[in-house]
Amino acid sequence: MVERYSREIMAKKWDMQAKYDAWLKVELAAVKAWNKLGLINDTDCEKILKNAKFDIARIDEIEKTTKHDVIAFLTSVSESLGEESRFVHYAMTSSDCIDTAVALQIKESLDLILEDVSLLLEVIKKRALEHKNTLMVGRSHGIHGEPITFGLVLAIWYDEILHAKELLEHAREVISYGKISGAMGNFAHAPLEFEEEVCKNLDLKPAPVSNQVIQRDRYAQVISAIAILASSCEQIAVAIRHFQRTEVYEAEEYFSAGQKGSSAMPHKRNPVLSENITGLCRVLRSFVTPALENVALWHERDISHSSVERFILPDAFVTADFMLMRLTNLIDKLLVYPENMMKNLNLTGGLVFSQRVLLELPFKGISREEAYKIVQRNAMKVWADLQNGKAAINEKNESLFLLALLADEDLRKSLSEEDIRRCFDYNYYTKNVDAIFARTFK
């Protein structure tokens, strides 16, 4: 975990205290289960539940000798108890404790991530409603296409993050399983009822079948869901970076008083938050490959997954949490410039209306091929005029494309001036925005 990109609320869920707290929670749930099944008497059970504790410094000291963190942990716990300590970890293997505890940590961390995502969705929705009818140009391949609204852009962001949330919710279900099936998963030394009772105490479900470990496809689904969320967040961050480019300048990150953009160029206002989010998303996606490679373990289990998970699980959750809160604040404070959006929309002299004109001609008996030829011919003329320095819009607020079409004798045989001018209507492109919003923001 990098402190610069961490929030304490998530980092604490993955520190050593949280790790051993989760281990102890599993061990105490096992003691309760054995008590209910009659193996441990009430007195010993109460003593363990009341007095069991651990000391991190002592665990570290013991592990120097044992070279085994679970044994070091259990030794430390035993030192806090009397003879009743003999029932701690009874008929369990290390992974019974570890994997079940990690499921608790992941589940709790996903709950926080889901809270973060819900807040992000609220902010995106708020800004979408604010800019539902704010006109701008839609771009494909980076080139101007047709009029859209900034609200529709935000609606896309909302819907994509909502998909990611659904995947995270599914991942939470997948990971909410424990295993107390013993060293080989065959329940040789403890009944299935023991596992069921332990998992019930921890609000987990027992894995239908396991070997020495919980199968790592569950972990891979969690990391993959986080990576997909990251990609959707990067999609937003990249869009904001494009909006802030000087020659576009349709939106920009909030620039606070006293903030500096460059050590060399005092004028700079850079999209540093969006760029930071882009980088963090790359890191989050990088965890998918090791998570997938952890699925293929030898036989009933090897330990090759352990070192990987000590890195990727804390880092994935801490980074995702930080990234989500940064993105939420960024969108909430995003500066939007409708005037520049309108200026850019007019930049190509009305070419954004070309399809509307194209679709009028077939109703006048013109084939699609001929219609396309007529419209494209005029569009290419406008491109040339723009490159030669002609104004996109004249003093009468008439675009180059409109004037070119009105002057085209072949086109005028089919379309009247009124027909042509009717095609240059921004409202035509926003008439379904309300319906789209109703379908998106249910």
Residue 317 has pLDDT above 90, yes or no: yes
* Confidence (pTM): 0.95
360 CA to centre of own chain = 42
**Inside any domain, residue 49:** no
Q: Mean pLDDT across the stretch 388-393?
A: 94
Q: Is 335 helix (H, G, I), strand (E, B) or coil?
A: strand
**Same-domain check for residues 408 and 322:** no
**Inside any domain, residue 57:** no
Q: Mean pLDDT across the stretch 238-254?
A: 97
Q: Among 304, 337, 370, which residue terminates a domain? A: 337
For residue range 398-422, list pLDDT tens digits in order. 999 999 999 999 999 999 999 999 9
Q: What is the pLDDT at residue 52?
A: 98
Residue 1 has pLDDT above 90, yes or no: no
Structure tokens at 410: 């072949």
Q: What is the pLDDT at residue 266?
A: 86
Q: What is the pLDDT at residue 233?
A: 98
Sequential DSSP letters for 79-146: HTS-GGGGGTTTT--HHHHHHHHHHHHHHHHHHHHHHHHHHHHHHHHHHHHHTTT-EEEEEETTEEEE
Q: What is the pLDDT at residue 393?
A: 93
Instruction: Write out the catalytic residue numbers.
Output: 141, 262
**Inside any domain, residue 31:** no
Instruction: Please count the structural domains in the chain.
Output: 2
Residue 210 has pLDDT above 90, yes or no: yes
Q: Where are the alpha helices (DSSP H) in 245-367?
A: 272-286, 288-293, 304-333, 338-345, 354-360
Q: Among 337, 357, 387, which residue terminates a domain? A: 337
**Same-domain check for residues 320 and 234:** yes
**Same-domain check for residues 357 and 323:** no
Q: Mean pLDDT across the stretch 360-384?
A: 96
Q: What is the pLDDT at residue 257?
A: 84
Q: What is the pLDDT at residue 165?
A: 99
For residue range 334-365, list pLDDT tens digits in order. 999 999 999 999 999 999 999 999 999 999 99
* Pairs from 366-374 (Cβ < 8 Å, separation ≥ 24): 366/414, 374/408, 374/410, 374/411
**Same-domain check for residues 298 and 270:** yes
Q: Mean pLDDT across the stretch 22-47?
A: 98
Q: Which residues lie below 8 Å from residue 80, measured CB to CB, with a gap of 6+?
A: 51, 52, 53, 54
Banded model confidence at residue 2, pLDDT cuts 50, 70, 90:
confident
**Same-domain check for residues 218 and 267:** yes
With beta carbons less than 8 A apart as the criterion, state whether 297 and 305 touch. yes
Is 409 exposed, middle or buried, given 0-12, 13-18 or 19+ CB atoms closer than 10 A? exposed
Sequential DSSP letters for 364-432: GT--HHHHHHHHHHHHHHHHHHHHTT--SB-TTS-BHHHHHHHT-HHHHTT--HHHHHHT--THHHHTT
Residue 178 has pLDDT above 80, yes or no: yes
Distance CA 80, CA 37 (A): 24
Q: Among 282, 303, 337, which residue terminates a domain? A: 337
For residue range 121-173, list pLDDT tens digits in order. 999 999 999 999 999 999 999 999 999 999 999 999 999 999 999 999 999 99
With beta carbons less than 8 A apart as the criterion, state whether 204 and 177 touch. yes
Banded model confidence at residue 367, pLDDT cuts 50, 70, 90:
very high
**Inside any domain, residue 298:** yes
CATH code of the domain in which 276 resides: 1.20.200.10
Beta-bridge partners for 137: 147
**Inside any domain, residue 158:** yes
Q: What is the pLDDT at residue 262?
A: 84
With beta carbons less than 8 A apart as the criterion, state whether 348 and 147 touch. no
Structure tokens at 57: 């410094």
**Inside any domain, residue 357:** yes
**Inside any domain, residue 76:** no
**Same-domain check for residues 301 and 165:** yes
**Same-domain check for residues 364 and 427:** yes
**Same-domain check for residues 328 and 350:** no
What is the extent of the structural domain holding 377?
Answer: 346-440
CATH code of the domain in which 405 resides: 1.10.40.30
**Inside any domain, residue 85:** no
**Same-domain check for residues 333 and 352:** no
Banded model confidence at residue 255, pLDDT cuts 50, 70, 90:
confident
**Same-domain check for residues 391 and 273:** no
**Same-domain check for residues 323 and 363:** no
**Same-domain check for residues 255 and 385:** no
